[in-house]
Amino acid sequence: MEFFYVVKATQKSGKQDATVWFTAKSEARANLMLDVVLEDAEIETGRGKDYARPIRTNFPVVNELPPEGEISFTFTNYYRLGEDGMTWEQIPGVTLPSSEAAAVARQHIVDGVDTETGEVLEDHSENFENKGNSPTPAPELTVVATMPLRHRVLAQHIGEGEYLYHVDASQKKEILRLEMDTDNSYVQNLLLAAENVEAFKKAIEHDIHKAVNAHKQVFPVDGKVPELCTTIKFFKEWFSAEHINRGLLVKEWAERLKNKPAPVKKSGPHKVIV
């Protein structure tokens, strides 16, 4: 379920209104995610602050929708709330960024040639006549939150630091490949640890993304594979820590492992054979 919020700035502050949205199983979880994002952005709300308390609105279906979980200060430059105070509508007379981009692209094309790059563009007119102007099929996307826990963890693992809200067919294929790769101890330990930490199993997508990336910072993919018990211990400590302390926890773990001396193999007494 999607939750969209607007955080209105006071007139006295002179700041821009903020918007943000999340995917969550319940409004309570969405509110927790909202608190974390506002805290990270150092936005204080309520009486005497620069911003009023957040308001949940209807979810807008528009091209200018900001990335999930990221605060936008430009969305309200193009859209405003209607009379019901819940539904978003385009501000009259305002040109949307998506429309500007399309117009600019059209200006650069003359007789099938991109005047900026010199590239000869393919003529699709024949295809349009034969296929009745049927649009190109959109790629099949799967919302990560609807997938099993293992796949949700691997989705954020292959995201290379970027939060993945949905995955396409090729990404889903890679997720399945990693899940079945029993020789990849790093991935297998990551999955087993996630399934053995209660807080991880109940985590929302935003926290899974952060936990997986924190794991990569402490245990680089191209480094030594941590033992399963070590990975479980790390995730338990990470989920138990306060949100503002998790960054420090990651640094402490990374520093501790960096300075950890290599184990010394003790040799037993030599036997003398007479």
* pLDDT score recorded for residue 272: 46
The answer to whether the CB of 119 falls within 8 A of the CB of 110 is: no
* pLDDT score recorded for residue 233: 95
Listed residue (41, 35, 30, 36) closest to 73, CA to CA: 41
One domain, residues 27 and 65: yes
One domain, residues 70 and 147: no
* pLDDT score recorded for residue 250: 93
CB-based burial of residue 271 (10 Å sphere; 0-12 exposed, 13-18 middle, 19+ buried)? exposed
* pLDDT score recorded for residue 120: 53
One domain, residues 223 and 147: yes
CA–CA separation, 121 and 129 (whole Å): 18
Tens of pLDDT along the chain (274 residues) come to: 889 999 999 988 888 999 999 988 888 888 899 999 999 889 999 888 999 999 999 998 887 788 888 999 989 988 999 988 899 998 888 777 755 444 444 455 555 555 555 555 555 444 444 555 555 565 678 888 888 999 999 999 998 888 888 888 899 999 999 999 999 999 999 999 999 999 999 888 888 999 999 999 999 988 889 999 999 999 999 999 988 899 999 999 999 888 765 454 455 554 545 4
The overall pTM is greater than 0.85 = no
* pLDDT score recorded for residue 115: 52
Q: Which residues pair with 261 in a beta bridge?
A: none
Domain count across the chain: 3
Element (H, E) at 213: helix 205-218
One domain, residues 158 and 225: yes
In a domain, 227, yes or no: yes
One domain, residues 185 and 254: yes
Give the SS3 label for residue 64.
coil
One domain, residues 56 and 104: no
One domain, residues 126 and 190: no
One domain, residues 247 and 154: yes
| CA R_g for the chain | 25
* pLDDT score recorded for residue 128: 42
One domain, residues 158 and 252: yes
Contacts for 140 with CB less than 8 Å, ≥ 6 apart = 168, 169
Domain limits for position 254: 142-258
Helix count (H) and strand count (E) of the chain?
10, 9
In a domain, 268, yes or no: no
Give the SS3 label for residue 80.
strand
CA–CA separation, 38 and 31 (whole Å): 10
CA–CA separation, 1 and 26 (whole Å): 7
* pLDDT score recorded for residue 178: 93
In a domain, 170, yes or no: yes
One domain, residues 159 and 243: yes
Contacts for 4 with CB less than 8 Å, ≥ 6 apart = 19, 20, 21, 56, 57, 58, 59, 60
In a domain, 222, yes or no: yes
In a domain, 9, yes or no: yes
In a domain, 273, yes or no: no
The residue among 105, 131, 157 that closes a domain is 131
